[in-house]
Amino acid sequence: MYPPIEPYKTGFLETADGHQVYWELCGNPHGKPAVFLHGGPGSGCGAQHRQLFDPTKYNVLLFDQRGCGRSRPHASLHNNTTAHLIEDMERLRSDIMGAEKWLVFGGSWGSTLSLAYAQAHPKHVSELVVRGIFTVRKEELRWFYQEGASWLFPDYWEDYLAPIPPEERDDLIAAYHKRLTGNNDEEQIRAARAWSQWEGRTISLLLDESHVSSHIEDHFAIAFARIENHYFSNSGFMTENQLLDNAHKLHGIPGIIIQGRYDACTPAKTAWELHKAWPQAEFQIIADAGHAFNEPGILKALIAATDKFADNGST
């Protein structure tokens, strides 16, 4: 990655419906505009994410989506939908960055939001870099949160099941929703830790204890689990197959799709289907990687992608 940097400007976007969205600008104020979209939903941005872009060539906006990271109120589900996030992005683009177009970069849920934003506002997207493709379809949610991935991680799966009584396990997303939005604080944090730990343990090809420890920290886990479950309980606030059905709206946008071959969270099938629906984009399967952005092969591909587009215009 590029060397660590600090933002040159930070602030909060005040929404009209009760949220304060944290944002930061990094790199060259006169560089190529780009926006980084974090995963989850509900995880927030980290300092390492700034290092995915050449700071001499890019002007990068990073923001914590509603309810997570440094945004306020913490873990709020009120007025928190995909449409709200797209609206926030448009205000950040026009009011904070003042850019007509920007490179849109996102992985996992960030790829979902990237695709949804680009399909809604294609004229404002100069390029699209997406990783670990996730489109919030029923089969994808069922794979990771109901049965499929349990075959790969039966030991971790038992811990994921633990907060849910056997009679409620036929719909685990619904059972978790009941606990994550309930009034029992002890039950809520237990469910949040179990939900978040499941992803932290399975996110990379080889277990990375740093992922696990960050995911089970209470402040992170409660926002991550509540917001993820809220979105997944509502199919991402999109129609089934919406992002693939509307992939034709991406035609004409230069793009790169990066996918770990052994991604257990968002299996490669979805990335392949996006590639078929958007064949103009460059498609890269990383042979020795899972889901996490900082696995060596994925990280190398992401840096190469932002380097490739770095000189395609600036403000």
Active site residues: 108, 263, 291
Helix ranges, the chain (H): 82-91, 109-120, 138-145, 154-161, 172-180, 185-202, 209-216, 218-233, 242-245, 268-277, 296-309
Question: Strands across the sheet with 282-286, in order?
Answer: 9-14, 20-27, 58-63, 32-37, 102-107, 125-131, 255-260, 282-286
Q: Which residues contact 185 (CB under 8 A, 6 or more apart)?
A: none
Sign of the Cα torsion 14, 17, 19, 23 reads negative
The DSSP code sequence of 22-45 is EEEEEE-TTSEEEEEE-STTTT--
Q: Containing H/E element for 257?
A: strand 255-260
Cβ atoms of residues 55 and 240 within 8 Å: no
Note whether 70 and 47 are within 8 A (CB): no
Question: Helix (H) and strand (E) counts for the chain?
Answer: 11, 8
Burial class (CB in 10 A: 0-12, 13-18, 19+), 3: exposed
Tell me how far apart the alpha carbons of residues 310 and 52 are, in angstroms, rounded to a whole number: 11
Chain centre distance of CA 309: 21
Quick one: CA dihedral 131, 133, 136, 139, positive or negative?
A: negative
d(CA 278, CA 73): 37
CB hemisphere CA count around 172 (13 angstroms): 25
Partnered with residue 72 across adjacent β-strands are 20
